[in-house]
A = this chain, B = another copy of it.
Amino acid sequence: MSTFVVVGGDAAGMSAASKAKRDNPDVDVVVFEKGEWVSYGACGLPYYIKGEIQSLDDLVSVTPEEFRQERDIDLRTGHEVVDIDPANRVVTARSADGEVTQAYDHLLVATGAEAVLPPIVGLEREGVYTLGSMSEGKDLREYVGRARSERELQQPDRGPACQFLETCHGPVGIVGGGYIGVEMAEALAANGFEVHLFQRGDRILKQFSEETSESILDHLGDQNVEVYLGAAVEELAGGDRVEAVVTDDLRVPVEMVLVGTGVRPRTALAADAGIEVGETGAIATDAYRETNVPDVYAAGDCAEAEHVVTGEPAYVPLALTANRHGRAIGQTVAGTPTKGGGIAGTAAVKAFEMEAARTGVLDDALAREVGFDPMTATIEAKSRAGYYPGGGTVQVTLTVDRPTGRVLGGSLASEFGEGAVHRSHALVGAVTEGITVEELSNYDLAYAPPFNTTWDPVLTAAKVVEGKR
């Protein structure tokens, strides 16, 4: 009989808890979660705010009650773990009822990530939102609902985003051009807001290839989103409420601002307990996701993991990794030591009527650091047979190591529904297995006219890169 204690009840924590209990019912599983929600799909929040999902409850895959009743997990919501004592194998948690201590045999730190707030004046003003939690999602949706009702009673002043809409609201500002910024631009525009997006760097979606970024940027323009590149926001100006986004040379009036400038791992609890934090700033783990402290694991948005291309630790806080590594830890704790596999940095995003995915290493500097000599090429190809009705264009960027031809990374973009994201599945295998671009070009991928050209765009990209190498 052993006790497995989990700190944090989202993807990594609940995957580990569920798997440990399922594989070995003799393990006592205790989960401390400081909030009230567990196992929620934060990735769905933009679609909740957009209005495509009616209730926050729809984002919850398993309720606290189900974890307790059906999965026999001692889930304690409203409990924040404030101390880990590895020497005595005890954690201390604080709740409204005071402090409790809990002994453990195995411990998982799954404390997640928190929003990085840039040094901007006025972040505290009313009307400034972030989107890191379910309750923040709720607040933002309430704002959207209120703004819509109020505006529907007035004659709106129509801005550029509104020309095709019956009702128009806003203008609103988004600070940050990453996943959240782009997804929220869609969500807010769909609700009739005039959207202004401020990106400090020189392109949006910087994890993707430059060409993918450019394609999505063009599309945002087509959708009447005003994007400002190289725009470092200095102030969210106003009185009690935010009234304008201010950069060194711009002052854009807004009624609301969403700040989505990335996240950083929550590591303080672990670091205080002597658990090692790696160079990425996230908790360091081995292939079993065990930390430097025996029997203490870390996974999800607070932890780093080895990258399948570089072999080095990387920090890529995304949902699948949290689930996968949580599950592997659960299996290990249940008695079967299990590696969860490395990460390829794969990610997907929908932006209005486009989709994009990326995997592996696309950054030349990073590739050179680990000894590769990267080269990159981008192609555009039809998404279906040229004679087949409908269809669009798939843009594929491949980065390879010039001397060996090894595929290091890829980035794809297409119209929504034209398959950029699912096609990236081919590239994940390529970067994970370390195959060459010539080998990839010889893959016997599925073909039929409604789905691609005889050479799928992925193969065309591989041929082109191989030819230039």
Contacts and interface: CB of A to CB of B under 8 A. Distances in A.
Interface of A: 11, 41, 43-44, 47-48, 52-53, 58-59, 61, 308, 318-321, 323-324, 339-350, 355, 357, 359, 385-389, 416-417, 419, 421-426, 428-430, 432-433, 435, 439, 441-451, 454-456, 458-459
B320 A350 contact: no
A44 B449 contact: yes
A445 B456 CA distance: 19
Contact of A323 (B347, B387, B451, B454): B454
A443 B324 CA distance: 9
Contacts of A449: 41, 43-44, 47
Contacts of A346: 444-447
Contacts of A324: 442, 444, 455
Contacts of A448: 43, 347-350, 421
A439 to B, nearest CB: 7
Query: In the complex this chain forms, how many copies of it are found?
Result: 2
Contact of A444 (B341, B389, B435): B341
A436 to B, nearest CB: 11
A185 to B, nearest CB: 15
Contacts of A429: 425-426, 429-430, 433, 435, 443
A1 to B, nearest CB: 24
Contacts of A450: 47, 350, 355, 416
Contacts of A355: 450-451
**Those 3 A-B pairs whose CB atoms lie nearest each other, nearest first:** A341-B442, A429-B429, A422-B422
A387 B41 contact: yes
Nearest to A339: B442
Nearest to A51: B389
From A350, A432, A442, A458, name the one whose CB has the most chain B CB atoms within 10 angstroms.
A442
A448 to B, nearest CB: 4
Contacts of A343: 444
B44 A385 contact: yes
A419 B416 contact: no
Contacts of A386: 58, 61
B43 A446 contact: no
Contact of A451 (B52, B61, B350, B428): B350
A434 to B, nearest CB: 9
29 contacts: A41-B454, A43-B454, A47-B387, A47-B389, A47-B450, A53-B387, A58-B387, A308-B444, A339-B442, A341-B443, A341-B444, A343-B444, A346-B446, A346-B447, A347-B446, A347-B447, A348-B446, A350-B451, A355-B451, A359-B446, A421-B448, A423-B425, A424-B445, A424-B446, A425-B446, A425-B458, A426-B428, A428-B445, A428-B446
